[in-house]
Structure 1
Amino acid sequence: MQTLDWIDWLVLIATLLVIVGYGTWKTRGRNSAQDYIKGGNSTKWWTIGLSVMATQASAITFLSTTGQAFSDGMGFVQFYFGLPIAMVIICLVFIPLYHRLKVYTAYEFLENRFDLKTRSLTAILFLIQRGLAAGITIFAPAIILSVVLGWNIVTLNIVIGVLVIIYTVSGGTKAVTVTQKQQMFVIFAGMIAALVIIINLIPDEVSFRDAIDIAGATGKMQVLDFSFDLENRYTVWTGLIGGTFLMLSYFGTDQSQVQRYLSGKSIKEMQMGLLFNGLLKVPMQFFILLVGVMVFVFYQFNPSPLNFIDASTQTVLASEYGIEYKKLQEDQKDLFELKKKISLEMSNSKDNKEATITQLAALDIVEKSYRQKSKFLIKKAVDPEYTSEYNALQKEVNELKSNPENEAYLLKSAELRTLYKDSAKDTQTNDRDYMFIRFILNNLPTGLIGLLLAVILSAAMSSTASEINALATITSIDLYGRNQKEDKGDAHMVKMTKWFTFGWGIIAIIIACFANLAENLIQLVNIIGSIFYGNVLGIFLLAFFFKHIKGNSVFLGALITQCIVVNGWWFDWMPYLWLNLFGCAVVIVVAHILQLILPNKLEE
């Protein structure tokens, strides 16, 4: 368990209190719906751009993206290649339409174009996926900080949630936007400081260019993958095609983002804010991934644990597999000394680089196998049912070994390998999201630790605030307000929106308390989005470009499509990014078919 210095506590608490206090004070007294929900339409373009970035940049971005880079390298940046394309399309199509109609939410437009039930269905799809995401954005930093620092996870969930509720209920959209400027400043300052210090922690004789070469030798610097392999989640094509559809739906139809730019002073300010985000977001993600890669390089010269979750390591060492795990730790120490020697040779010798690159690549494969085996042993130590299943399967494979051509042997062997690999995905073995926070606590100087913990919590607060603000707005405007028989007036709607904000904040805290880790948190958030976003985007595209399609066709088509997409995800038909394109295409096709075969019935 890590003990923070008082200076780190001071930096952490002061940063968070200043952000919450400033947001509450700056936006007090917002009593009209125009001010509370749309921020008074007074936001400048650079504030919109920073707010849009802060909404997307949750704590998961910093904890999980750095871990992704540490394990798999820079390839994840391809996920964002479609973002600039999406920003241009939204600026040309979505923003002028939203501005002309003077809407409070993206879904008001759908009622004008189709009908109330289509608007309500789309709003409900948003509430489901964004409500889940809001809980995860609280849960992500809470579970990691609880494990690393020994803090109670429920307490952390409540603290993060309550801080967000205070200023979001107080000032609405304006409070979210105002505080996100300060949060982005803290985030940028913290990450730049982290990269500079990580580079300085690498031995003096190793230049930054040498560090890049070492990372490149193990494949960590491979940014572009032009393959058409559907088993590969991150390629140029998944980013440009699947990523574009995901970003179009996220920034064009997700109220947590739409609400950020609807607060702009004019169409021009909104468009410039989104273009600013489009230009800066990919370099920002590249930079965050580079931080993770530099941590990987740091561990070529400094010992690293087999697993970054201390509690899991202690559990396996105390189990019947402790001796085997200690042997694995000794093997890793020997491997580390060899890696360090070769990495220094690579930096000092300019003539023999090819040979050292090959050696480093081979040693990296060996270390990955050690880490995989460590996860397997931890899984066996913490899960008796898994151990029994694995041992029974291993026994069957051994009995069939005498005939390796036997189909049963091949099937059981494949099943055994799958079970072995699945051990890496368990909560207590999957340490990818813990890597960066563990590195921070063990290696960075006093003061900066507090700042980077503030970065993580600020990012969690900024994205959660946007989400519960959007959830409350949709609930208030699209469901509660639209179904009232008489106009309740501005004061009543603001009051109800505050109550809905409070309610969604509590729901997000509850979801966070019951959430669980996936293989990788940033993937979990994007998977949840991909299940719903394609369908929602398709509904909007039908509204924009297919004027002959009526509301009933779209409503039934959306219901059918959502069932198909959920099945596609559940049975793993394709990498999750492609679900965005798939869902969008399916709802458009199904709506057209329904309109053709049952036009009269549907019109009735």
Structure 2
Amino acid sequence: MEVLDWSILIGTLAFIVGYGVWKTKGSKNVNEYVLGGNEANWTTVGLSVMATQASAITFLSTPGQAFHDGMGFVQFYFGLPIAMVIICIVFIPIYYKLKVYTAYEFLENRFDVKTRTLAAILFLIQRGLAAGITIYAPSIILSAVLGWDLFTLNIIIGTIVTIYTVSGGTKAVNVTQKQQMFIIMLGMFVAFFFILGYLPSDITFSKALKIAGASGKLDILDFSFDTSTRYTFWSGITGGLFLFLAYFGTDQSQVQRYLSGKSVRESQLGLIFNGIFKIPMQFFILLVGVLVFVFYQYNPSPLNFNPAATSAVLESSYADDYKLLQQEHEELAMEKKMAQDKFSAALDIKEYDATVDAKQNIIAINAKDKRNREAAKTLISKADNETETNDKDYVFIHFILNYLPKGLIGLLLAVILSAAMSSTASELNALGTITSLDIFKRHTDKNSEKSQEYYVSVAKWFTLAWGIVAIGIACVTNLFDNLIQLVNIIGSIFYGNVLGIFLLAFFVKFVKGNAVFIAAIVTQLLIFLIYYSFIYVFEDGEEKISYLLLNLIGCVLVMAIAVFFQLFDNMLNKPLNNSEVD
């Protein structure tokens, strides 16, 4: 990192924090602090919704996901446009009609206070965990850049984002996210064009795609019905649909974004904007990862992209074995480049047999490369079982730090940190709101005549508290399989249950609060059991069912169990008619 990089990075982050504090200081009532005074137009709503979902994990993990596994991850988002339409038609009009501050207020109106409280607690658990992970993600980056320990970086990053979130509430989140999205997309486009520029002169964009396709990186659609495959067309439009319905329809970090809109129409247009542009955005970010893969077909890459893992094994008794693997890896890199040159030449002369032979050679070399990398992970685990062997989240940052010119490194780091700040701010904002309104005010202060300023102060204190909790969670997080998958897995464990509660509230009018409350508790326990039995115990995508299906399973379970309990209760309490008395 040069002085120019530091100047761009620090200047960008200082501007975002300073602008957020300056534009939003002095919220005097709950509406201003929680809903931003309902001043947001549809573009602000749409960008805020998009920025909330697009955390640092998106720009850190997604390119690495594409590097290793290809474009298939985009299928995860196929259910999103459908979810946006449903939320615009069903959820938004009801929330506005009831003039709620939180999604869970509606549940008390429809069921009872204990159902509202349970749903709020489930949200606090899963979103609190996610907030910690979104702080942890950029800490990994700066740890690799600066050599600082993760604990220190988690505290610094968490403190920065907590400052303006506590200060300005929802409006601070909204106004800063527009700037953050601009910086994010600018940085990704710059990276895209620089990668293309770094490819050999005879490798056009079209040929780069063919090279990626030869290695299976452009296999976008999978129509198989194999439930053990994480990402298929069907899991995307079923499990993905239910995940996005729950996330955008019931997760306060998103609900709070569009409830800040000027009107129902502005909020609906904001969500439709997100539904239209989200899939192309994710497709583009995955494509950047695929181009990074193509780049490393012609340039040397580390055996493991995690520098801490490499250092750990080279300082252990397994160093000699690892160096042998590194030597084989370097030889494979030369073979890989030669194979790609042959494939490129075959494409130029349009010789079918030569193209097929070259493609088969590439597939065989990549298979060897994969086995080599797996063997390296095994050695790393033996050397230090506490060191993370998974390196997907380090792929893109390795390219940024080693190949981008001065200034652009600072810009790309600003991109990832901006994304972290935008997403974490939304989460902390929502966590503080739910704790202050759905828990504190509802259960300890519901009959008091406290002033608006008092509840704004309470919300700020709870937001600060959740900032501290998130920092603590970040300090004990590890990479798991892949950060972006970890966040989605956590959400999938809880979202289906909460979505089912809301669907019962909307559409199944005869079900009452007691049945829903019992069903929600039973369902959550069953989802934990399913997760630990069929997903958690398996690794590398070999689980028995895709984690996305937990959203569908949880939703169906809570609705079915609630209906059963209500019918059973109705049968037990059914009054006797005259014929029965006779």
- Is TM (by shorter chain) over 0.5? yes
Q: Letter of the aligned partner of 2:107 in structure 1?
A: L
For the Cα contact (< 8 Å) 1:148–1:438, is it kept in 2?
A: no
1:204 correspondence with 2:201: yes
2:557 to 579, 586, 597: 586
Alignment of 1:63-462 (within 5 A): 63-350=60-347, 351=351, 352-383=354-385, 427-462=387-422
Give the equivalent residue in structure 2 for 1:501.
463
Amino acid at match of 2:381: K
Query: Where do residues 473-492 of structure 1 align in structure 2 (5 Å cutoff)?
Result: 473-483=433-443, 484=445, 485-492=447-454
Cα distance in 2 for partners of 1:113, 1:226 equals 39
Q: 1:152, CA displacement in angstroms?
A: 2.2
The answer for the alignment partner of 1:599 in structure 2 is 570
TM-aligned CA deviation for residue 574 of structure 1: 2.4
Question: Which of 533, 540, 559 is 2:502 aligned to?
Answer: 540
Q: Structure 1 residue 427: deviation in Å?
A: 4.4
Deviation at 1:164, TM superposition (A): 1.1
1:42 aligns with 2:59: no
Aligned: 1:58 with 2:55? yes
Report the more deviating stretch, 549-558 or 313-322: 313-322
Q: Is the 8 A contact 1:595 1:602 kept in 2?
A: no
Partner of 1:423: none
**Equivalent residue number for residue 580 of structure 2:** none
Runs of at least 4 residues off by over 4 Å: 600-603
Contact residue 248 and residue 537 of structure 1 kept, 8 A: yes
Shift of 1:148: 4.4
User: For residues 595 and 5 of structure 1, do their structure 2 counterparts lie closer, same or farther at Cα, with a shift above 3 Å needed?
Assistant: same
CA RMSD of aligned residues (A): 1.3
Q: What are the ranges of 5 or more consecutive residues in structure 2 without an aligned counterpart?
A: 535-543, 575-582
Shift of 1:151: 1.5
With normalisation by structure 2, the TM-score equals 0.94
Q: Distance in 1 between matches of 2:485 and 2:440?
A: 33
The aligned amino acid for 1:575 is S
User: Cα offset for 1:263?
Assistant: 0.3
Q: Deviations over 1:268-316 (max 9, x none)?
A: 1000000000000000000000011100000000011100122322322
Say whether the 8 Å CA contact 1:148–1:309 is kept in structure 2: no
Any conservation in 2 of the 1:202–1:298 contact (CA below 8 Å)?
Answer: yes
Q: In 1, Cα distance between the equivalents of 2:456 and 2:499?
A: 29
TM-superposed CA distance for 1:143, in Å, is 2.8
1:460 partner letter: A
Match for residue 396 of structure 1? none
One-letter amino acid matched to 1:362: A
Contact 2:289 2:396 in 1 (8 A): yes
Letter in structure 1 aligned against 2:552: L
Contact 1:206 1:344 in 2 (8 A): no
Q: Alignment partner of 2:304: what SS?
A: coil
Aligned-pair CA distance for 1:145: 2.5
Kept after mapping to 1: 8 A contact 2:309/2:387: no
Letter in 1 for 2:437: I
1:599 Cα offset (Å) = 3.3
Residue identity opposite 1:470 in structure 2: A
Q: After TM superposition, give the deviation of residue 347 of structure 1 in Å.
A: 1.9
Aligned mates of 1:464, 1:20 — CA distance in 2:
13
Task: Give me the whole-angstrom Cα distance separating, in 1, the residues matched to 2:26 and 2:309.
Answer: 49
Question: How far did 1:598 drift?
Answer: 2.4
Counterpart-to-counterpart distance in 1, 2:118 and 2:177: 30
Distance 1:427 1:283, change over 3 A: farther
Q: Matched residues in 2 for 1:557 and 1:427: separation?
A: 40
How far the C-alpha of 1:439 sits from its partner, in A, is: 1.1
CA distance in 1 between counterparts of 2:330 and 2:174 reads 49
Contact 1:538–1:588, Cα closer than 8 Å, also in 2: yes
Contact 1:205–1:348 under 8 Å retained in 2: no
Deviation at 1:565, TM superposition (A): 0.5
Give me the identity figure in percent. Answer: 62
TM-score, normalising length from structure 1? Answer: 0.91
